[in-house]
């Protein structure tokens, strides 16, 4: 173990238990700067790609809007 790591660990030992959450948050933030979060991002992106729906080339927006409104609101009490 390097001297720098030993110094860091000794400082960490001096921090009160209730303040360690702040140190952990800082360390997680620093770890994210080095690409460890990149794997999570890639996995989330691929999940979204799998869930993405294909849309027909010719989409009738008026018809889609009318269908959505009917599904969402029905006739809304209007006869």
User: Into how many domains does the chain fold?
Assistant: 1
- pTM of the model as a whole: 0.39
Domain that holds residue 59: 12-73
Distances (CA, A) of 51 to 2, 5, 14, 44, 55: 47, 44, 48, 11, 13
Q: Is residue 2 part of a domain?
A: no
Any idea which residue has 């001096």 for tokens?
14
Q: Is residue 78 part of a domain?
A: no
Q: Is residue 52 part of a domain?
A: yes
**What parts of the chain have a pLDDT lower than 70?**
32-37, 56, 76-79
Q: Is residue 7 part of a domain?
A: no
Q: Is residue 62 part of a domain?
A: yes
Residue range 57-79, pLDDT digits in tens: 788 889 989 999 998 888 766 65
Q: Is residue 79 part of a domain?
A: no
Q: Is residue 3 part of a domain?
A: no
């Amino acid at each position: 173990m390097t001297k720098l790591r030993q110094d860091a660990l000794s400082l960490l030992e001096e921090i009160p238990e209730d303040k360690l959450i702040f140190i952990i948050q800082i360390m997680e933030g620093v770890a994210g700067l080095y690409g460890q979060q990149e794997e999570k991002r890639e996995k989330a992106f691929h999940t979204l790609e799998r869930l993405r729906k294909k849309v027909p080339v010719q989409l009738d927006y008026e018809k889609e809007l009318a269908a959505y409104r009917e599904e969402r609101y029905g006739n809304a009490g209007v006869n």
